[in-house]
Structure 1
Amino acid sequence: MKVLIGGYTKKTSKGIYELPFIGEDNGAKLGKAENIISVGGPTYFQKDGDLIFTINNAGDEGGISVLKLGEHGSSEVDRYLTPGASPAYVGIDREKKLIYTANYHTAVLSVFHYNPSGNLELVDQVTHKAETLGPRPEQTDGPHPHFFDETPSGNLVSCDLGNDTVDFYRLENGKLEHLAQYKNETGFGTRHIVFSKDGNYFYVVGELSSKINVVKFNEDTWDFENIATYKTIPEDFTEHNGAAALYISKDGKYVYNSNRGHNSITVFKVNDDHTLSLVQRISTFGDFPRDFNWDADQKYVVVANQNTDNATLYIRNGDNGTLTPIQTEIPVPEGTRVLFTK
């Protein structure tokens, strides 16, 4: 098992790094980070076999690149770049061979098809409009989609930080059709979303509000019911914080999010009625944790701290959801994306 970490390339990072996973249980640790892919600003990426689909910030152009991993490094298979900023998020459907990107700066959502070799074909794009912009400085300049991926029923969903909205789409006959919209509270800063195991609820995190909103919904009728909202940071924390990544355990019992500023991961238990109960807030032992992730068994969790160029490894208790740090101060530069791989 290995861990891939990529992020910004503004200081010393060269792209995507691979860290070997050594040992097991409380004796587990990550080895030295090795740069395996040189690419500009791989702040988010996905993997399918030996193919890496990564954000590529190529100076005056931005987009995604497809790289094939080999025994002696990597080679670029294809790229799709356009003038301006690169996307913020990359989603994937490995069975349908589809890639989804959300561009925070240009407000463009894109769908690509890829063949087994990794060659890309643009399927369709839509651009979010400035319809319900929030009052915060990060919102007043326009829509900012930060997430674009699949729903439990195979539709598509985006999270728009500028508009405070969750938007649902259908991809049919190569065209994106807007189906429905859920509006978060003004200034929420809608960023990432996860779904309950039964597909009847979603949990959406607000970057600007540092809150998680629990919503009951019906993916046939598009009825929404606001259930509850929870702070991801302590009420008495007054410094700047931006909530970032959001994950739910595969058994549907625990929700996790990272907090950039409070520099923590918050763990919530999902109650029988789908409300949340705070279980734990634990330090990330570094500054500005954007992404974190777990292995296939969800036994180990790794978080990357962007500003302090380090990562932290935890062991996860599947019975109560808690995280216990087993290795801190793991050197890796400018990390914003974490992915376990074989």
Structure 2
Amino acid sequence: MKVLIGGYTKKTSKGIYELPFTGENNDARLSKAENIISVGGPTYFQKDGDLVFAINNAGDEGGISAFKLSTQGASEVDHYLTPGASPAYVGINREQKLLYTANYHTAVLSVFSYNNDGKLDLITTTTHKAEILGPRPEQTDGPHPHFFDQTPAGNLVSCDLGNDTVDFYHLEKGKLKHLAQYKNEAGFGSRHIVFSKDGNYFYVVGELSSKINVVKFNEDNWNFENIATVKTIPEDFTAHNGAAALYISKDGKYVYNSNRGHNSITVFKVNDDHTLSLVQRVSTFGDFPRDFNWDANQKYVVAANQNTDNATLYLRNAGTGTLTPIQKEIAVPEGTRVLFTK
């Protein structure tokens, strides 16, 4: 098993790094990070077999690049770049070989197809418009979609930080059809979303509010019911914080999010009524943890600290949901995306 970490390339990072994973339980460790893909600003990426699809910040242009991994190294096999900023998020459907990108700066959502060789084809795009923008400084300049991926029923969903909205789409005959919209509270800063195991609830994290909103919804008639909202940071924490990544365990029992500023991962238990109860806030032992992730068995968790160029490895208790740090100060530059791989 290995861990891939990529991020910004503003200081010393050259792109995506591979860290070998050895040992088990409390003796598990990540070894030295080695650069395996050289690319500008791979702040998010996905993997399908020997293909890696990464955000590419190529100076005056931005987009995504496809790389093929081999024993000889990684080679770029295709890219799709347009003038301006690169996207913030890449989603993937490995069965249908589709990619979904959300561009925070240009407000463009894109859908791509790819083949076994990594060849990319743009299927369609849509652009979010300024609707009722939130009141915070980060929102007043326009819409900012920060997430674009699939729903449990196979539709698509985007979180828009500028508009405080969750928008649902269906890919129909090569076009994106807007189906419904859920509006978060003003200033929420909708960023990432996960769904309950039964597909009847979603949890959306607000970057600007440091909150998670629990919503009951129906993908047939698009009824939404606001169930509850919880803070991801302590009430008495007054310094700047930006809530970032959001994950739910595969058994549906625990929800996790990272806090950039409070520099922690928050663990919530999912109650029988799908509300959330605080279980733990654990330090990431660094500054600005944008992403974290777990292995296929969700036994190990790695958090990447962007500003302090380090990562932390945790052992996860599946019964209680808690995280125990077992390795700190793992050197990796400017990390913003974590992905376990074989």
Query: What amino acid is aligned across from residue 112 of structure 2 in structure 1?
Result: F
Query: What is the Cα deviation at residue 132 of structure 1?
Result: 1.2
TM-score norm. by structure 2 comes to 1.00
The answer for the alignment partner of 2:84 in structure 1 is 84
* CA apart distance, 1:120: 0.5
> CA separation in 2, counterparts of 1:72 and 1:336?
26
Within 2, Cα distance between the matches of 1:73 and 1:190?
38
Question: 1:173-184 to 2 correspondence within 5 Å?
Answer: 173-184=173-184
Return the offset for 1:73: 1.2
Distance in 2 (alpha carbons) for counterparts of 1:192 and 1:123: 23
- Counterpart in the other structure of 1:323: 323
Deviations 1:202-231 (CA, angstroms, capped at 9, x unpaired): 000000000000000000000000000000
1:341 alignment partner in structure 2: 341
Q: Which runs of 4+ in 1 moved over 6 A?
A: none
Cα deviation code 1:18-56 (max 9, x no counterpart): 000010000000000000000000000000000000000
Equivalent position SS for 1:333: coil
Q: What fraction of aligned residue pairs are identical, expressed as a percent?
A: 86
1:158 Cα deviation from its structure 2 partner: 0.0
C-alpha distance in structure 1 between counterparts of 2:66 and 2:334, whole Å: 21
How many Å separate the matches in 1 of 2:161 and 2:21? 35
Aligned to 2:271: 271
> For the residues of structure 2 that align with 1:224 and 1:132, how far apart are their CA atoms?
19
Counterparts of 2:93 and 2:22, CA distance in 1: 30
Q: Which runs of 5+ in 1 are unaligned?
A: none
- How far apart are 1:172 and its partner, in Å? 0.8
Which structure 2 residues correspond to residues 147-296 of structure 1 after superposition, within 5 A?
147-296=147-296
1:134 corresponds in structure 2 to 134
- For 2:62, the equivalent position in structure 1 comes to 62
Amino acid at match of 1:252: G
The C-alpha deviation readout for 1:168-193, integer Å capped at 9, x for no partner, is 00001111000000000000000000
Deviations 1:125-153, CA, capped at 9 Å, x for gaps: 00000001001010000000000000000
- Give runs of aligned pairs for residues 30-41 of structure 1, distance below 5 A: 30-41=30-41
1:225-264 per-position Cα deviation (integer Å, ceiling 9, x unaligned): 0000000000000000000000000000000000000000
- Provide the rounded CA distance (Å) in 2 between the counterparts of 1:95 and 1:204: 25
Is 1:309 matched up with 2:309? yes
- In structure 2, distance between residues paired with 1:208 and 1:122: 32
Rounded Cα–Cα distance in structure 2 between residues aligned with 1:320 and 1:132: 40
Give the count of matched residue pairs: 342
Give the Cα separation in 2 of the matches to 1:141 and 1:72: 45
- Paired amino acid for 1:309: D
CA distance in 1: counterparts of 2:59 and 2:272, whole angstroms: 49
Query: CA offset at residue 72 of structure 1?
Result: 1.7
Letter in 1 for 2:185: E
Give the TM-score taking structure 1 as reference length: 1.00
Q: Which residue of 2 aligns with 1:118?
A: 118
Secondary structure, aligned partner of 2:26: helix
